[in-house]
Every structure is written in C-alpha cells, then in structure tokens.
A and B are shown apart, each in its own frame.
Chain A
Amino acid sequence: MSKHLTYEEAKKFAYYGLKLLAVLTVIEVIISLFGKGHLGWKEAYYLDWVHYICGGLIVILSLYKAYFIVFNFMHLGTETKTLIRTVLWPMTLLLFAIIAFIWEGAYWNDARSYILQQDELPSERVVPDINVDPQADQTKIIE
C-alpha cells in the first residue's frame, strides 16, 4: 500500500493508523466493561449470552487490529504473494489448536465435576483386592 504513497501521504497514513487503533481499543474496552456490568446495566454480568455477544465483538475488533498492524505497519501487503502465503498459511494451524484445546479444556471441566458427583454417590466401588501380597507374587515369578 505505502509503496505508491508519497512521503506526505505515508506520514498522514501513520497518524490515521494511530487514530484508528486508539478508537478501536477504546470501543473494545467499552464493550468489555458493558459485558461485565460496569456501564449501568449490572445484570449483564450474570447473563451468559451477553458475554458471548460482547466476547465475539471484541474478538472481531482485535482481529481487525491485528490485520491492520500486519498489513499496513509491517508492510506485509506490499510483499510478494508467496511471502504473504508462507507467513499467513501456517497460522491456520493455530485455528485448529485454539478450537481443539478449548474443547479439551471444557472436557476436563466436565470430567472433574463428574468425578466429584461420583465421589458423593453411595455406590459399590471396584476396590483393589488387598489380600493379595505383591511380594509373594514376585517370589513366585523368580522361582
């Protein structure tokens, strides 16, 4: 992008970037505070759907900020197509990692609460047979 810009235009563009990033950050913080019930509507903090909507909006804004920094401040946009692809395509692996590990984390949570429930239930337990002497077994094998 900045390849075709004159020095004056590039200078202006840098300050435009400053304004854009600052405004986006302020919007993000406002959305986050609203979702946590700080801006008037206190009940928002206890509602899950508010968190999902606010979280989604903040993630989209952050991704746009990241795109802006990489393509305009780091000039990835003016590099060759091959370079852009070698940098960006590996990032799709991260998409998989994020989904997989968040899923896994939620499963750990479920497993933990399941174990807690099981511990509280009065039920027949499969306990190891304490009458078997492991020492005796070993001597048998050696003989």
Chain B
Amino acid sequence: MAEKLLAEVTEDHTMTEDWSGGKPPMKASFGKLMMWYFLVSDAFTFCGFLVAYGALRMSVPTWPVPDFVFQSFPGGFTGLPLIFVTVMSFVLIISSVTMVRAVQEGKRENRKGVVFWLLMTILGGFTFLACQAYEWTNLIAVEHMTIFENPFGTHTVDGVYLNADGTDGESFRAGDSYLVHKVDGEWDFKEFRITSGEDAGKIALTQLGPQTFGSLFFCITGFHGFHVSIGVFLLILTCINAASGLYDRKKTQYETVEKVGLYWHFVDLVWVFVFLVFYLL
C-alpha cells in the first residue's frame, strides 16, 4: 500500500512542485500568511494579560464593579453606567466595517473608493483614541486612580456611615461600591459602623480597593490603545500609498490594504474581549 502511494507521488511530481517555490503555501500569499501568524502570537499576548486579570480578580475577596467605575460621560455627566464604553465599542465596530468596504473596493481596483473608506477608518481610529484619552484623563485626574493606587472599593459587610458629629448617616449593604475621594491631596477615608457578621458594632474606615485593578486596567487598555495607534499609523501609510497610485502599479495590487485590514479587524476582535472582561462581567 505504502509503496504504491509513494510511487504515485513520485510519478505526478506534485510533492516536488509544491515545495520547489513559486507557489504560495496554503494558497495564501506570504505577507498574508505572516500577518495571520503574527495575529496568532498577538492573541496569545492579549490572552496572557486577560488571564492575569482573571486570576488576580479571583484572588481577592472583592473587586471594583465596572458599572460603578465607568459611569462618566463627556460633558460632566455621571451616573450613566457603561454608556460611554458602548459608544467606544460602536466606534470600533463602525471603523471595522469601513475597513471591510475599503478591502472590497481594493478588490475592484477602485482607487478613489479605497482612499475614501480608508480615511473613514482612520477617522474611526482617531475617535476611539480620543475616547480612550477622555476615559484615562477622567480616571487619573478626577478619580485619582494610578497604577499603584485604586480608590474604587467594594464593601464586604453591611454598615452605616457615620457623620462628622457621630450620628448615623447613609447605610449600605455588602457588595455596594464606594469611591475614596482625595481632600487636599490626602485620601479621605470615611468612618462607618459595621452592622453584620462577627464584627457587628465595631467602627471601621473605608480602604483603597484592590491595588492590581488600576495597573491591570492601564496596562491592558493601554496595550490595546497602543495597537490602535499602530493601526492608525499603518492605515495612514496605506492611504497615502493608495492615493499615490502605488497599488495600481504593484504586482500584488491592493493586497496591502487587505493585510492592514486583517490587523485592524484583530484590534476590533481584541476589543470584543477587553470589553467583555473589563466592562461587562
């Protein structure tokens, strides 16, 4: 059986033809293939980050609730949980679809169409980066979150806040969120009386939340934002090249648009999971 197969293979020379060059392996061009494998490795990098997030989140008794942390909207609005990040998601989805359109126009060798849709995609990329800049500014400058300190906490017991004169103030339940404010550059921890569990009746102070939340947030969204920046840079280069007519003269034609498109869709894909892990769960 094996001998027969071997004889057949040597007879029709397909093996030697396949590996003697000139033919792209897996019927994909070298550039596209390498972009795919780069994206696979990049997926592992991002997954490493997100897995670290999961492990560290599980390793502490409480974790800041995303609905409480991300509830600001430009223009001084607050109390709008997740609305702003949903807008950011939409921006990326729309820019992903404009990229699909650019690739389609590239296949038709329609130079004007490619340039137009690439410009739309660049606009989407810049909008997303601007949104992220707002989000970071709000967290750092207004809410004083850094990679070392995280003012967002969650109560593990029921209790009642104490007013300055010692009377009872607002009450809260285990699981409720709080934000520690800064007064004159110092953390202003609030006093409260515990009303549940073994320590009922004792007076305690609010504390800063899990420290890793801040560093994980800035590292992961920062790494994703870095990818978006690189993507916008590549898109601008591709757009200039397309506008100059370079791809009309090239042998591979508009394949570069397709490769940059793969990268851009990957950025959108990563955001699906960053959005899931950081904001939705």
Contact = CB atoms under 8 A, between A and B. Distances in A.
A62 B81 contact: no
A17 B93 CA distance: 9
Interface stretch (B82-90, B129-137, B234-242, B244-252): B82-90
A117 to B, nearest CB: 11
Contacts of A105: 54-59
B280 interface: yes
A82 B58 contact: no
Interface in A46-100: 46, 55, 58-59, 62, 65-66, 69-70, 73-74, 79-80, 82-83, 86-87, 90-91, 94, 97-98
B67 interface: yes
Contacts of B230: none
A69 B265 contact: yes
A108 B212 CA distance: 14
Contacts of B175: 45-46
Contacts of B67: 32-33, 36, 38
B40 interface: yes
Contact of B59 (A11, A59, A70, A112): A112
B270 to A, nearest CB: 10
A17 B96 CA distance: 10
Contact of A97 (B51, B59, B272): B51
A66 B269 contact: yes
Nearest to A47: B175
A41 to B, nearest CB: 14
A62 B280 CA distance: 10
Contacts of B73: none
Interface string A28-46: 1101110010100000011
A57 to B, nearest CB: 10
A1 interface: no
Interface stretch (A19-27, A125-133, A134-142): A19-27
Given A26-B86, A101-B54, A74 B265 contact: yes
A98 B52 CA distance: 9
B276 A70 contact: no
7 contacts: A26-B86, A46-B175, A66-B272, A73-B268, A87-B36, A98-B54, A106-B59
Q: List 4 tightest A-B contacts by C-beta distance, closest first.
A: A105-B58, A105-B55, A108-B59, A101-B55
Interface of A: 7, 10-11, 14-15, 17-18, 21-22, 25-26, 28-29, 31-33, 36, 38, 45-46, 55, 58-59, 62, 65-66, 69-70, 73-74, 79-80, 82-83, 86-87, 90-91, 94, 97-98, 101-102, 104-106, 108-109, 112-113
